[in-house]
Amino acid sequence: MKILITGGTGFIGRKLTERLLKAGSLLIDGVRAEPIEQIVLLDPYPGAGVVQDARVRLLTGSLTDADIIGEAVRGVDLVWHFAAVVSSEAEADFDLGMQVNLHGLLMLLEALRREPGRPRLVYTSGFAVFGRPMPELITDDVIPTPQSSYGMQKAVGELLVADYSRRGFIDGRAVRLPTISVRPGKPNKAASTFVSSIIREPLVGQSAVCPVKPETPVYILSPRRALEALERAMVLPDETVGPIRIIPLPGITLSVGDMVAALERRAGAKVAACIRWKYDPEIQRIVESWPSAVRADRAIALGFRGDTDFDSIIEAHIEDELNGVVPNV
């Protein structure tokens, strides 16, 4: 079995690679599949995150390069497509966002269409497909009204993945991910990057900027639950997914202030004081344009699950990223 992970050296790609290598094979459609022979990581940034394993092959290149995409998909069975220009960057540089998030996806879909055996694709979308005006509660049936170019590109991607699947070119599944927190690594250009950095940095004694008001609600999913969901989205039988290929994932809603309170409960006031509240009206506007109250009935019926509370998310982050120890407590 050959696997491709685009954006494979990013944090979620790295964690998924480790998980897959450890498992050795997947239970697909309820049946134990052939062992994983190769995992191709396609990423423009080789990064420090490449897992050292004979089964891993790094392809350094961009989704704007048809040749490298063609090479990446050759003989592939399963594809996780994470590579994207993130929200703030796609808003600041429209052409770059279109090139990667739309035209890059189209090139990938066309390359997969030419492969035999209808490769299976998990496409990662997000709740940025929604924007105001929208209902207060987002259910599976709410119409996407993106108010960012990133959100538009993700909504378009969902439609493309669904139609390529309907036609039998691929077997695609589009998951809408909540904001992932606590994301390890460095801040990126996503408007949501603070949702992780205000926890991650203080826990190692570094300062972090919170650009939004404490009462701002966010809809989040932990890395552990995100990885489970990304695997589940891949292994569900085609018939179970059905004609609607979009699966909005369950998360939990809480305010930024609640997150900080949980941090203080776990690590003390000194740690929580590492957060500098530096209001940025543009980030506030973008984050407020995303939905916070979500009911993901369809995903729950399909066996996906969110987190129970933010205290457990912090604890899991300390276990997974800090070997169970908060350095400066």
Residues annotated as catalytic are 150
Strands 275-277 and 120-126 turn out to be unpaired
CA distance 7 to 205: 29
Q: Does 286 bind a second copy (CB under 8 A)?
A: no
DSSP state, 129? G
Cβ 23 to a second copy, closest distance in Å? 34
Question: Where in 102-131 is the site for a second copy (CB under 8 A)?
Answer: 131
CB closer to a second copy, 131 vs 211: 131
Whether the Cβ atoms of residue 294 and residue 222 lie closer than 8 Å to each other: no
Binding track over 173-192 against a second copy, x by CB under 8 A: --------------------
Tell me the torsion sign for CA atoms 255, 261, 262, 267: positive
Residue choice 133, 136, 269, 325 for contact with a second copy (CB under 8 A): 133
146 is a contact residue toward a second copy (CB under 8 A): yes
Asked whether position 142 contacts a second copy by CB under 8 A, the answer is: yes
Residue number, 156 or 218, with CB nearest to a second copy: 156
- How far CA 314 is from CA of 73, 208, 221, 252, 268, in Å, comes to 37, 16, 12, 14, 13
Structure tokens at 267: 């690590």
d(CA 98, CA 104): 8
Task: Please pick, from the candidates 87, 124, 149, 222, the single residue that binds a second copy as defined by CB under 8 A.
Answer: 149
What minimum distance in Å lies between the beta carbon of 162 and a second copy? 7
Region near a second copy per CB under 8 A, out of 51-59, 79-87, 137-145, 223-231: 137-145
Q: Cα–Cα distance between 177 and 61 in angstroms, integer?
A: 25
Question: Is the Cβ–Cβ distance between 174 and 230 less than 8 Å?
Answer: no
Pairing verdict, β 38-43 and 56-60: parallel
Q: Which of 52, 54, 116, 167 binds a second copy (CB under 8 A)?
A: 167
23 scored as a contact of a second copy (CB under 8 A): no
Binding of a second copy by 132 (CB under 8 A): yes
Assess 244 for contact with a second copy (CB under 8 A): yes
Looking up tokens 């770059």, which residue turns up?
A: 96
Does residue 141 touch a second copy according to CB under 8 A? yes
* Residues lying near a second copy in the complex (CB under 8 A): 94, 131-133, 141-147, 149, 152, 155-156, 159-160, 162-163, 166-167, 243-244
